[in-house]
Amino acid sequence: MKNHHIIVFFLISLFLIMNLGRFVSCTEEKKVYIVYLGEHNGDKTLKEIEDHHCSFLHSVKGTTTSKEDVRASLVHSYKNVINGFSAVLTPQEVDMISGMEGVVSVFHSDPYEIRPHTTRSWDFVSLLEGTSLLNSREKLLQNASYGKDIIVGVMDSGVWPESSSFSDEGMEPVPKSWKGICQEGVAFNASHCNRKLIGARYYLKGYEAAVGPLNETRDFRSPRDVDGHGTHTAGTVGGRRVANASAIGGFAKGTAIGGAPNVRLAIYKVCWPVPDQSLADGNACATDDILAAFDDAIADGVHVLSISLGSLPTSTYYTENPIAVGSLHAVKKNIVVSCSAGNDGPTPSTVGNVAPWVITVGASSIDRVFSSPIMLGNGMIVEGQTVTPIRRRRLHPLVYAGDVEIRGITASNTTGTCLPGTLSRNLVRGKVVLCGNTGIQASMEVKRAGGVAAILGNPFNEIKVTPYLDPTTVVFSYSLATILTYIRTEKNPMATLVPGNTLIGTKPAPVMASFTSKGPNVVDPNILKPDITAPGFNILAAWSEASSPLKMPEDRRVVKYNMQSGTSMSCPHVSGVIALLKSVHPDWSSAAIRSALMTTSTMNNVVGQPIKNATGDDASPFEYGSGHFRPSRAVDPGLVYDATYTDYLLYLCTQNVSLDSSFSCPEKIPTASNLNYPSLAIANMRGGSIRSVTRVVTNVGKDNSTYVLGVSSPPGYVVDIVPKRLHFSKLGEKHSFNITITSVQRRNDFSFGWYTWSDGVHVVRSPIAVSSA
């Protein structure tokens, strides 16, 4: 009997050793997945919906798994509009569920895939309206009642409710259409919502299922914002008028105001700190949490969704991206969705949020700089820019970083860039250091090594300012070369930084930001993205007082307003204007509003020249889409290109995607370029080939009007449009026209042109992008 026990023990031990790796592997393979089922038909109670979702899990986890364990694996159950759920599953369970009846798609909820795209701007926007429209901004606000009955949902990192930008003083009662809640949590209760911030929710289940429990020393388990990004975007959309607002040091001082100052804001906190990283490194926004926020926002009754989040799109974008999927449900309910284009420029094919049912916004500058010159020892003044408070100092010795590095620590391609730990204390102490890098780490490295100030080089023709901790200014590359020449030719080079000040009216402006993500659209180059550009460069707005200007542990400063740059900042500019357009034209569809914004935009800067990009070249529609938005012109666009939910489902047929089981693709599917979009893109036009598409415009201008065609064909192509005149006898009348493009010269790159319809008052312009590749 004793030997029998020994043998049994040996066999069990051997079995465990042989299978331990497999057991551990299965455990490690469990991840959060979203099971997308389409849309609810309204015939089930909330409990029945959750039971139905759990039935899928029971089927794959087996009868031996208890109901309690099944429900424990369920993360989100989407019960309002979106039908689906998220759960902790193994790859084997995912395969089983994917084949079940009614399942549209199953995809991984990645908490790191989607991240945030991180005053004077409204005055600058008015300049681009034209000299006869200098008061257009105020007229639009008055006509729209400052957006008072429009509800904008902001999906981001939360809100700092105490900010003056979210005061409800003098505001009317909350609209009766609002069905949302003010979700309480840590440091956030019902009193933090008011007639301005009418609702707030937070979404943490997906984040915690993926990365573990929230570190509550780093963020609030509530809608309260510890980062600042969400507060900034919400304030840009609809912040109240706040006099004497400024960044740290008094820069950009003036009246802070949002795009629609009386709009109602609903906050949906979906982004949280990345474990073991600083807030400056970005946030994590779990895919299934975002989809849950969409489900609630649609049911809550928002009119507009402002989403300054995104990721680089992949081939599974239309079936697995929560913003693409969620926004399609929103647009079906006529909610307008505005999204940031991304901050991965100037690399081509990086534009995100490319679904044709959302408005995709690039970023450009305004006519404001923060001048902080450098005075050299020979009396020469070199232009620099900063929002770092600097006290006037005497001249100090000036050195180039490449000459004062620790020997042998840098490579040829990194020398002179002031990387952490590279500068010699003995050679830097008490000196001004010239660095060929603009990062915060360069300024901090000069300080670590004992330098009194840093001069950083910028390769682009616009400077994204940073509130550095220590005296620092940034210069253009040509100025960097001038200073370096001075260092090389002067026996005792000296320099001092002059305190900065705010300058208004600089020209030319706007300039496309270097970081703004560019087309062509990598998912489908036959849809031109981005759609439009708006101010997103050095934008002042409300900030979280739990954060700091730099969002770094070393920065202990607290501010009420902060300067930020990114398409995250340009997106809420457009969202605020959408709210105003919604107020003036409550019967317009989401597509009509997008069309109005796009076809009335401008490709020119304030001096009437083509908008430039960050390297000084003429920008293209792959950077600005249709152009820089002009809100007051968008109120009266003349004609609009409308589209319906069914049109978008038909477009998805061209991508071999089905997101609605009630819709069947026709046998003959039109090309993607045939979607009734305000811009036109056609890829893969082989030499000598001909492509034809159709567009339909709706008259929203005036009765008895005639529009005449104007065309500028892209180089290498001939564009012919028939008919060349469109006559409308009444409002709401529709007319179609055919566009034929003939390739007369093979071009591997995209070529750009445009066409317009004009009745002498309205100019309805659409960009064209064509490529043989």
Q: Which residues are catalytic?
A: 156, 229, 568
Q: Taking Cα atoms as reference points, which of 275, 281, 242 lies closest to residue 258?
A: 242
Return the closest-CA partner of residue 396 out of 471, 458, 485. 471
Parallel, antiparallel or unpaired: strands 763-770 and 751-758: antiparallel
SS3 244: strand
**Helix, strand counts (H, E) of the chain:** 19, 37
Query: H helices within 507-589, ranges in order?
Result: 567-584
- Residue 560, token pair as written in the block: 């009420």
Q: What is the DSSP letter of 203?
A: -
Q: What are phi and psi of 481, to 5 degrees?
A: -65, -40
Q: Are 381 and 373 in contact (CB under 8 A)?
A: yes
Q: What does the alpha-carbon distance between residue 594 and residue 588 come to, in Å, rounded to a whole number?
A: 10
At 547, give phi and psi (nearest 5°): -105, -170
Whole-angstrom distance, CA of residue 358 vs CA of residue 550:
31
CA dihedral sign, ordered 183, 189, 192, 193: positive
Angle between helices 322-332 and 645-654 (to 10 degrees): 150
- The single residue listed with the structure tokens 């080939």 is 689
Structure letter (DSSP) for residue 481: H
Number of neighbours of residue 689 by Cβ within 10 angstroms: 13
Distance (Å, whole) CA 382 – CA 591 = 48
Using alpha carbons, list the distances in angstroms from residue 61 to 37, 55, 87, 205, 415. Answer: 19, 10, 12, 21, 57
How far is Cα of residue 388 from the mean position of the Cα atoms in its chain?
26
Give alpha helix (H) positions in 216-310: 229-238, 287-300
Tell me the two tokens of residue 463: 């400077």
Which residues have C-beta within 8 Å of that of residue 170, sequence separation ≥ 6? Answer: none
Distance CA 615, CA 513 (A): 10
Q: Please say whether the beta carbons of 673 and 633 come within 8 A.
A: no
Which residue type occupies 257?
I
- The whole-angstrom separation of Cα 302 and Cα 264 is 9
Measured between alpha carbons, how far is 433 from 83 in angstroms, rounded to an integer? Answer: 58
Q: Is-contact 78 288, C-beta < 8 A?
A: no
586 burial type by CB count under 10 A (0-12 exposed, 13-18 middle, 19+ buried): exposed
CA 161 to chain centre: 22
Question: What is the Cα–Cα distance from 581 to 596, expressed in whole angstroms?
Answer: 9
AA letter at 375: M
Structure-token match 């690039």, residue found: 362
Q: What share of the chain is helix, strand, coil (3-state, %, to 5)?
A: 30, 25, 45
